[in-house]
Amino acid sequence: MSFTPEVVPGSAGPNVDTLVDVYRSADRDVLADLYLGEQNGWNDQVKDVFVVLSASRSGSSLIFNALTSTGEVAAPGGEHEPWLTLSENKFPFLSSDEMDGEINQKELLLRLFRNDLLVRDRRLEAKDVIDPVRNRLIIRRQSDNEGFARLTTSILNRGNILNTEWGMVTQDIGKLAVKPMPVEAGQFGDSAYGMPLENPPFIDQPLAHIATEDELHKLPLLFKSPSDAYRPGFYESLFPNARINYIHLSRGFVQTANGLMDGWQMGETDFISNPVGITKPLRIEDYSITDMSRIYWCFDLFNGWEDYTDSSLVEVAVNQWLRAHKSIVENFEPMERLTFEDFYSDPPAFYARLSQLTGIDTSSYDWNKSIMGTETPTQRRWLKRASLFRNLKTHLPGALIDEVVELQGHLGHSMEEETWR
């Protein structure tokens, strides 16, 4: 389903009629700068694909990092959402994260995926990391070309890079200037501003090389993005000869909604995703208080989001949990399910189950490392909003609560608060 938004007259650039047009123009510029090595038909050789399906704020980044750190999978350097935007498979080219029908510009999307499928390593020649780093910086709205040139020289001068040294490189990357994100219609398409292609916060670029043809044939691919919950059939279309292994990671609605609300209420740009408010500013209670937060949605964009632009934040967050898991349950083949609560209640069993599902041993991974967190990981963080979650009937429609209770039970989560870890 395409989406052609209305732009406020006189506020857009002189050659831009719609937000779609602005994105198309910006995407062409980005694509011209990216490294896109040619390799046709590589996707037909892929044998195994693992996809972690979850709602946002459910622990999928932790699983992704644990599995990729082993070097036994090929996976993107971060989430793959920017490549979908560049191939017109996300907002504003689609009305939501839901994909229904053919993949737009599939060959372009496959090229974008191919050059971001990386294998993490403990030691690499510096030249092997330049293209992946450069591609990520381009979609992260890198604005300091001289700074990037200095960074490239600094990396190349290292010769060989050990994993223990890579932290210094990522610190240097973090110091590079990033263009501000637009908050007015006229700023979209202005070269002084960057298009929102990759959603913050940015994952540290890993020490990794672009997967070789042999590695793509032998190693499984790994993908994770909460928005994949709305894309049944997507990976089957991209990798027609592969076995698609779905891992459904669930977490109770209170813990998830609490984490989502934390993300929505953090800094102005911490977890923003789509500039849906450019045509009709958001008025979400407890969120829409600045120019930035009246323009940008946070996290995944479920189908029907337009009905919640004037809602309370808790209603939006609960719907993000509900819509994601409901879509997973209804639209995907039976799959294995992990619950993030088990990560706290029985960590060894959780690690062992993940290894059993994937065939990848993650026992040496530092599971205490915080990944994409809003706070230091602790149990029962929802208690800071205890009054709200204990009195949902005063904050949410009864029909929505009924749906939550039903799905919570289907996923194996309890409505008893002592289980809300």
3 state SS for 321-347 = HHHHHHHHHHHCCCCEEEEHHHHHHCH
CA 205, 207, 213: angle at the middle one, nearest 5? 105
- pLDDT-derived band of residue 12, with 50, 70 and 90 as boundaries? very low
Q: Which of 147-156, 314-323, 368-377, 400-409 has the least mean pLDDT?
A: 368-377
Query: Residue range 132-159: average pLDDT?
Result: 85
pLDDT of 117 higher than 50: yes
Strand ranges for 192-307 from DSSP E: 208-210, 221-224, 243-250
For strand 221-224 and strand 208-210, is the pairing parallel, antiparallel, or unpaired?
unpaired
- In contact, 248 and 408? CB cutoff 8 Å: no
Query: Residue range 184-202: average pLDDT?
Result: 85
- In contact, 23 and 85? CB cutoff 8 Å: yes
List, for residues 219-248, the tens digit of each pLDDT value. 999 999 999 999 999 999 999 999 999 999
- pLDDT-derived band of residue 270, with 50, 70 and 90 as boundaries? confident
Which of 141, 177, 186 has its CA nearest to residue 291?
186
Strand ranges for 126-173 from DSSP E: 160-162
What's the pTM value of the predicted model, to 2 decimals? 0.91
List, for residues 35-57, the tens digit of each pLDDT value. 888 778 999 999 999 999 999 99
CA distance 58 to 187: 34
pLDDT of 4 higher than 50: no
ω into residue 348 within 30 of 0, thus cis? no
pLDDT, residue 3, reads: 38
Task: State the CB neighbour count (10 A cutoff) for residue 47.
Answer: 14
**330-341 burial code (b ≥16 CB/10 A, e <16):** eebeeeebbbbb
CA distance 42 to 111: 9
pLDDT of 8 higher than 50: no
pLDDT, residue 335, reads: 73
Which of 320, 273, 245 has its CA nearest to residue 67?
245
Please give the single-letter amino acid code of residue 325.
H
Q: Which of 108-122, 138-152, 363-377 has the least mean pLDDT?
A: 363-377
% the chain with pLDDT above 70: 93
CA distance 300 to 98: 10
Q: Which of 2-16, 76-90, 105-119, 234-248 has the least mean pLDDT?
A: 2-16
pLDDT, residue 176, reads: 85
Which of 421, 221, 395, 411 has its CA nearest to residue 311?
395
- In contact, 198 and 78? CB cutoff 8 Å: yes
Which of 77, 76, 109 has its CA nearest to residue 90?
109
pLDDT of 5 higher than 50: no
pLDDT of 7 higher than 70: no
% the chain with pLDDT above 90: 60
Look over the chain and give the mean of its residue pLDDT values, rounded to a whole number: 88
- pLDDT-derived band of residue 10, with 50, 70 and 90 as boundaries? very low
